[in-house]
């Protein structure tokens, strides 16, 4: 019993521990005997166990780690839920990541078109001469090996010129430009987008009339590329889709709402969403980007968007960028063998037209100069917009060419240095061109009238452009009557100004007041293509002649352009200026009426005989144009109401006051 008790307390030997075998705890054990090993046991000194006391700080630290882990777990869970929602939602809910169609590496940009004065052009001319010389030597001497080798070396260097800049300096880790700021943006529901795209295939939409750089089929393909994206798309795709959908929504009528299953509130919500997307895309545009067809299309579309919402300064930057891109692509020098219908030519002339018009309106130098353009003008009717009457498209193009001529011949720096007689002759020729084009358009309207309401706005735009440009051209020609004051223009100029304002008033009273948003966009585009000088001309004439009929027309014009005042700061400034001039003209007419009534009262009270015995009143010639009955500078200051015209109300009062001096004798 004692041996058993002692063996049960004996630990396993060292060999059994190492070999992981069962030890019978005998001395020696059976395992060691069977293996012919020396059974030995190493005794280790027993260690006394010590109790470790944990500080409260450790408990707090463990709780803090536990809380942090819970927060991380909750955040990860939320991210997983968001990803699951995105994967099950519509493809329009969140578009895939944006990938630019260009590399952000500036050294990788293509060199683009090179003109006749460039180094490349000089090299080409010398190379052609060497080739001709080589062919002559071959025909005469039969050996031109050295010269031919030289020509081949030059050709190789010339052809590799563009590639070197794009490859030699490009990092192997180059990547395409990303637009993470646009990743979280969404589009309207897919059902509404599909119905809009299908509507384009059955009904002509105003968007494709105003922006003929893209057609319905191409727009549908880009929408499919963006809305059902299986690959990354460019920011130009995103711009075209959002702007196009925005204008398509704006073009919907009341009868479309039930078909689309939307309300007016839904339309406004979708429009604001698309508008925010477009403005965000504008902020994300890259300054250095490779020119391309789609980039030009996107800039032209953005230009129209900014112009119609009243942001003319931004529209000018966009159309200028599009013009420079057209030059980089060499579209201003397209060869004569270009096909009859050319997308490149159509996009170029659209950009050219608006570049000229905006430059003329803003008094700036256009990016594309007419003397440097060799591309053939649009072929009519081959190049006209499908579905649009030919005469409307052709008239718009012709007016733009005349605007370019007006800038060069009447208002450029070199033209302003010419004598007034020469400028007057040029203005007369411009007026003749405008009237000739207008006569052709009117004749085409009679021969082929269009009853489609879609083209009403375009017809109004053409009429206003004609009358507005005629007014500006006649403004250069001095008045025939030497007695006319500085505020009174020639009769032809004044009548053209009246017709321009009548065009706006009639359109507003006929249909413009029914669609205020569309009317506002039309006026914003109209005032960017032609300066609103007709109002100022007629207001000055009303001040000079105190014509109540003209004052009534000015009042109606103010009511017609008032809706634009809420669209943008620039439109508000234009409206305020016109309203101020109207108030000035109204003050002039009322003052004349007051003087006439006082004279009648004096005649009635005293009679003709008694009138001879009293001191005479100040002589006021009501027949001739008079400027001694308007207001003092301080009164002008009150009328202007501190409106900022760039020079200040006081400076403007000092400018106008010599022409319409205050007569202190008149109360």
DSSP 466-516: HHHHHHHHHHHSPPS-TT--TT---HHHHHHHHHHHHHHHHHHHHTGGG-H
Q: Is the pLDDT of residue 480 over 80?
A: no
- Range of weakest confidence among 37-41, 106-110, 429-433: 106-110
How large a percentage of the chain has pLDDT more than 70? 67
Look at 430 and 229; give whichever has higher pLDDT.
430
Element (H, E) at 138: helix 119-140
- Range of weakest confidence among 31-40, 105-114, 280-289, 630-639: 630-639
- What integer is the mean pLDDT of 233-257? 90
Look at 634 and 216; give whichever has higher pLDDT.
216
Q: Is the pLDDT of residue 317 over 90?
A: yes
Confidence category of residue 605, pLDDT binned at 50, 70, 90: low
* Residues contacting residue 460 through CB under 8 Å, at least 6 positions apart: 503, 504, 507, 522, 526
SS3 589: helix
Distance CA 425, CA 632 (A): 38
Q: Where are the alpha helices (DSSP H) in 141-263?
A: 145-159, 161-167, 190-202, 206-210, 216-227, 235-250, 254-260
Q: Could you tell me if 277 and 193 are in contact, meaning their C-beta atoms sit under 8 angstroms apart?
A: no
Map 86-135 to HEC letters.
Answer: HHHCCCCCCCCCEECCCCCCHHHCCCCCCCCCCHHHHHHHHHHHHHHHHH
Tokens of 241: 């889709």
- For position 550, what pLDDT does the model report? 92
Residue 548 to residues 437, 556, 585, 589: CA-CA distances in angstroms?
33, 12, 9, 7
- What integer is the mean pLDDT of 507-514? 90
pLDDT in tens, 624-640: 444 444 444 444 444 44
Element (H, E) at 359: helix 343-362
Q: Is the pLDDT of residue 4 over 70?
A: no
Q: Is the pLDDT of residue 546 over 90?
A: no
* Residues contacting residue 286 through CB under 8 Å, at least 6 positions apart: 100, 102, 104, 177
pLDDT in tens, 182-210: 777 888 998 889 999 999 888 888 899 88
Q: Is the pLDDT of residue 589 over 90?
A: no
- For position 160, what pLDDT does the model report? 54
Distance CA 192, CA 322 (A): 31
CA R_g for the chain: 41
pLDDT, the chain, mean: 76
pLDDT in tens, 322-368: 999 999 999 989 887 777 677 888 899 999 999 999 999 988 889 99
- For position 384, what pLDDT does the model report? 63
Tokens of 505: 């008033």
Look at 186 and 275; give whichever has higher pLDDT.
275
Q: Could you tell me if 31 and 23 are in contact, meaning their C-beta atoms sit under 8 angstroms apart?
A: yes
Confidence category of residue 473, pLDDT binned at 50, 70, 90: very high
């Amino acid at each position: 019993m004692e041996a058993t008790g002692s063996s049960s307390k004996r630990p396993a030997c060292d060999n059994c521990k190492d070999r992981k075998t069962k030890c019978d705890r005998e001395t020696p054990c059976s395992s060691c005997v069977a293996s012919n090993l020396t059974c030995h046991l190493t005794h280790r000194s027993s260690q006394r166990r010590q109790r470790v006391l944990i500080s409260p700080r450790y408990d707090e630290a463990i709780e803090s780690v536990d809380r942090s882990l819970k927060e991380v777990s909750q955040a990860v869970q939320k991210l997983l839920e968001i990803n699951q929602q995105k994967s099950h939602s519509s493809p329009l809910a969140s578009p895939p990541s944006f990938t630019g169609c260009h590399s952000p590496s500036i050294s990788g940009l293509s060199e683009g078109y090179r003109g006749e004065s460039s180094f490349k052009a000089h090299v080409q001319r010398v190379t052609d001469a060497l080739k001709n010389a080589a062919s002559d030597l071959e025909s005469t001497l039969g050996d031109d090996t050295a010269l031919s080798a030289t020509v081949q070396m030059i050709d190789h260097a010339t052809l590799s010129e563009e590639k070197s800049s794009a490859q030699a300096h490009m990092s192997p880790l180059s990547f395409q430009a990303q637009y993470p700021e646009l990743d979280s943006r969404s589009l309207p529901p897919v059902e509404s987008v599909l119905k809009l795209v299908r509507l384009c295939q059955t009904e002509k939409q105003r968007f494709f009339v105003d922006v003929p750089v893209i057609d319905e089929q191409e727009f549908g393909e880009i929408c499919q590329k963006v809305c059902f994206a299986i690959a990354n798309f460019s920011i130009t795709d995103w711009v075209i889709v959002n702007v196009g959908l925005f204008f398509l929504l704006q073009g919907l009528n009341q009868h479309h709402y039930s078909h689309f299953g939307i309300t007016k509130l839904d339309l406004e919500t979708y429009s604001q969403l698309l508008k925010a997307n477009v403005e965000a895309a504008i902020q994300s545009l890259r300054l250095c980007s490779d020119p391309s067809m789609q980039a030009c299309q996107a800039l032209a579309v953005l230009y129209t968007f900014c112009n119609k919402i009243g942001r003319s300064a931004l529209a000018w930057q966009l159309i200028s960028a599009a013009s420079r891109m057209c030059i980089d692509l060499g579209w201003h020098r397209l060869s004569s063998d270009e096909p009859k219908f050319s997308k490149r030519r159509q996009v170029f002339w659209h950009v050219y037209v608006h570049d000229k018009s905006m430059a003329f309106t803003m008094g700036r130098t256009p990016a594309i100069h007419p003397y440097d353009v060799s591309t053939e003008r649009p072929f009519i009717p081959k190049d006209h917009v499908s579905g649009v009457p030919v005469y409307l498209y052709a008239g718009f193009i012709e007016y733009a060419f005349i605007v370019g001529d007006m800038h060069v011949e009447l208002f450029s720096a070199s033209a302003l240095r010419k004598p007034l007689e020469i400028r007057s002759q040029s203005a007369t020729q411009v007026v003749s061109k405008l009237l000739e084009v207008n006569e052709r358009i009117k004749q085409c309207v009679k021969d082929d009238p269009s009853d489609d309401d879609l083209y009403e706005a375009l017809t109004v735009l053409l009429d206003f452009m004609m009358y507005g440009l005629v007014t500006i051209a006649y403004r250069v020609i001095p008045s025939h009557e030497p007695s006319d004051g500085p505020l009174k223009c020639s009769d032809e100029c004044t009548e053209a100004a009246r017709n321009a304002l009548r065009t706006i008033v009639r359109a507003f009273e006929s249909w413009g007041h029914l669609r205020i948003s569309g009317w506002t966009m039309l006026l914003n585009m109209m005032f960017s293509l032609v300066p609103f000088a007709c109002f100022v001309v007629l207001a000055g004439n009303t001040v000079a002649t105190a014509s109540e009929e003209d004052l009534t027309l000015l009042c109606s014009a103010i009511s017609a352009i008032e809706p634009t005042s809420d669209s943008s700061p620039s439109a508000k400034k234009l409206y305020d200026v016109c309203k101020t001039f109207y108030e000035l003209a109204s003050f002039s007419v009322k003052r004349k009426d007051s003087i006439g009534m006082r004279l009648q009262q004096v005649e009635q009270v005293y009679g003709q005989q008694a009138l001879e015995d009293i001191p005479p009143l100040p002589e006021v010639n009501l027949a001739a144009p008079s400027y001694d009955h308007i207001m003092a500078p301080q009164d002008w200051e009150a009328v202007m109401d501190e409106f900022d015209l760039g020079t200040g109300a006081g400076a403007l009062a000092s400018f106008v006051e010599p022409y319409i001096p205050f007569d202190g004798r008149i109360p």
